[in-house]
Structure formats: C-alpha cells, structure tokens
Amino acid sequence: GIQVEQSPPDLILQEGANSTLRCNFSDSVNNLQWFHQNPWGQLINLFYIPSGTKQNGRLSATTVATERYSLLYISSSQTTDSGVYFCAAIRWAQKLVFGQGTRLTINP
Amino acid sequence: EAGVTQFPSHSVIEKGQTVTLRCDPISGHDNLYWYRRVMGKEIKFLLHFVKESKQDESGMPNNRFLAERTGGTYSTLKVQPAELEDSGVYFCASSQDLGGREQYFGPGTRLTVT
C-alpha cells in the first residue's frame, strides 16, 4: 500500500513566524488531504488537494503530484495554530492512509 | 448543511465494559468511514460502509469491535468488552461518492478505558 511520511515530526516557533510542513507519498494518489488536530482532539479539515495550490486565509497548500509531495504553509503563526497536522492520501482503495503527523507548537 | 456529527464527544468507561459510539454522516453521503488514533500514534482506518454494506473492514483490530449501519444512515461502533489499549480518539468520516473524493471528518469521540 501507499506510504505517507511527514516532516518535521516536531516544530517549535514563535508567534508571528512562518512555517512549512512537508508530506511525501510513495505513489500517485487520487486524494490528498491536510488536517489539523486541535488540543481537544478534534480533526479539522484544512485542504483537499490532490494537485495544485489552494489558499485559505493564512494557510496555503501545494501538491506536486508528479514529484509525490505536498507542502502546507502557515504564515504569521498564532498560538491557536498549535496542534498536530496530518496529511493523508488515497491511491486505489477508499481508505485514507495518514502520515505520522507534525506537532506544531507556537509560543507567545 | 450540517457536517458529520459524533456522539458522545467523550466517554470514560472501565475495562470490561461496553461502549457504543455513534456517527451521523452528512446527508446524502453513501460512504461512511471509521478511523481511530490510539496512544498518540498515527490515525488508522477501521472500516468503510457503502450505504448499509461493509465495503472494507480490513482495519478492524479484533472481534471485540462491531460496526453497523442499519438503513444506510447513521452508524454505530460498539466495543465489547473494552480493553485499556482501546483508549484513543475515534473519528467518523463521510464522502459523497468513490474515486478519491474528499472525506469530511467529524469531531471525534475520545474514549478513555480505565
């Protein structure tokens, strides 16, 4: 099955800094999604982005399908951005395969 | 349009007891999925319903877990008897059709087994 790897595993930044999270996947995908798991454990949909670039406020994501990676950008980080960020992909079966996550800590 | 809802948001039970989690998908979504994150590990797939039929249950850990989706609407996931290692967050997701469409996740149920 498809393998999904995220980097870095941990990222600690000061409020106001910018961050880039990376997701590599082992094969071509039909679906790639980014999520934010907040401190209460809830999983928030961020982007559905099997290819191309999307932006939503301070967040943007780019997937380069031919090179099998996706990037999540967070600009002007706020403490509320803290949590674990997951990417997940689907190749042929319908189940999302998740990466291990990047734990982001934004200090005031 | 209402999103995916899950109930309860948090459940604390003792080892050996039974717990039933409920998921209501987005209206009109035939596909319903269960995932879970245990012990701070990655989120893993449990099973997939298409309407009331189990399409893929390859991720179900053992026969203590039973999922149903009677009538093809809401789904329940029963854990009986619960073990300590079942603690974690259980997520439900739904999608409109197949072919890699976006899956919309509910807020999750945090299960704590003591």
Specify the pLDDT at position A38.
Answer: 84
Residue A79 in contact with partner chain B when CB distance is under 8 A: no
Instruction: Provide the token pair at A107.
Output: 């200090």
Instruction: Provide the token pair at B36.
Output: 């879970």
* Phi-psi group of A30: left, alpha or beta (phi > 0 → left; psi -120 to 50 → alpha; rest → beta): alpha
pLDDT tens track for A29-81: 888 999 999 887 888 999 999 999 999 999 999 999 999 999 999 999 999 99
Specify the pLDDT at position B99.
Answer: 65
Nearest by Cα to B34 from B113, B109, B97: B109
Residue among A31, A35, A98 whose CB faces B100 most closely: A31
Q: How many other β-carbons are positioned within 10 Å of the β-carbon of residue A80?
A: 11
Specify the pLDDT at position A41.
Answer: 82
**Alpha helix (H) ranges present in B1-114?**
none
Looking at chain B from residue 11 to 50, which residues have their Cβ under 8 Å from any Cβ of chain A? 31, 33, 35, 37, 41-45, 48
Tell me if A45 and B108 make a contact (CB, 8 A cut-off). Answer: no
Specify the pLDDT at position A94.
Answer: 76
pLDDT confidence of B41, banded at 50, 70, 90? confident
Tell me if B59 and A88 make a contact (CB, 8 A cut-off). Answer: no
Specify the pLDDT at position A77.
Answer: 96
Tell me if B102 and A48 make a contact (CB, 8 A cut-off). Answer: yes
pLDDT greater than 70 at residue B100: no
Residues of chain B found within 8 Å of residue A98, distances taken between Cβ atoms? 35, 42-44
pLDDT greater than 70 at residue B71: yes
Residues of chain A found within 8 Å of residue B34, distances taken between Cβ atoms? none
Specify the pLDDT at position A53.
Answer: 97
A-to-B residue pairs, Cβ atoms closer than 8 angstroms: 62
pLDDT greater than 90 at residue B1: no
Q: Is A79 helix (H, G, I), strand (E, B) or coil?
A: helix
Specify the pLDDT at position A42.
Answer: 84
Specify the pLDDT at position B42.
Answer: 87
Residue of chain A with shortest Cα separation from B9 = A42
The Cα-based distances of A1 to A16, A25, A26, A89, A93 in angstroms read 38, 11, 9, 11, 9
